[in-house]
A = this chain, B = another copy of it.
């Protein structure tokens, strides 16, 4: 029983810190998106393609969360935007305290759009509010069309879902219709995008949506 009590306290403290982060994002007018997915869903490639398209139009920044290595932050840094790497050293999710620390290292007055690339894990990160404006869940077409039913919390907490790696659809057993039905069964309000970060196909619907959200507050 004591375990449940402690668990609750951690989450309560996280909620308080998330609230502080959310106030900062609101004051500075920063759209903050917490990106959730399994390992290898193509989050970093999707981010890189997104940054290329938004270059010169929007001022973005990235917080990279990884269990180990700073490979992803190195890739993002090549796009000459502010980036902070959080290495969790085994930790399975980011929390609001880690984001608070990262915010101290970012030029918040110059940023309109902040991407938080969470640890590759479709389970735990969904439980933690970071203070983000919205959570975005990314699934690759190779993972299977049943995943919204098997990992419902991430799809429930997200407002937006991106199906990535659509270039691989001809080679895998994945029904986009079934996926859509499963995702909307868990969360009927989900905004869905389908794209291939590798080929660029379908990416502009996503970047147009981002630009529209930023311009319209």
B150 touches A68 (CB 8 A): yes
- Choose from B67, B120, B153, B168 the contact partner of A171 (Cβ within 8 Å): B168
Once bound together, how far apart are the Cα atoms of A10 and B3, in whole Å? 8
How far apart are A118's CB and chain B's nearest CB, in angstroms? 11
Query: Which of A22-30, A98-106, A141-149, A209-217 lines the interface with chain B?
Result: A141-149
Count this chain's copies in the assembly.
2
B residues in contact with A167, CB < 8 Å: 171
**Is A172 an interface position by the 8 A CB rule?**
yes
Given contacts A6-B6, A121-B122, contact A67 B151 (CB under 8 A): yes
**Is A175 an interface position by the 8 A CB rule?**
no
How far apart are A50's CB and chain B's nearest CB, in angstroms? 18
B149 touches A71 (CB 8 A): yes
Once bound together, how far apart are the Cα atoms of A143 and B67, in whole Å? 15
B residues in contact with A123, CB < 8 Å: 67, 90, 92, 119-121, 124
Interface residues of A in 126-176 (CB under 8 A from B): 127, 140, 142-144, 146-147, 149-153, 165, 167-168, 171-172
A151 touches B92 (CB 8 A): no
16 A-B pairs within 8 Å (CB atoms) are namely A3-B10, A38-B38, A38-B40, A67-B150, A67-B153, A68-B150, A71-B149, A120-B151, A121-B123, A121-B124, A123-B124, A140-B142, A142-B142, A142-B165, A167-B171, A168-B172
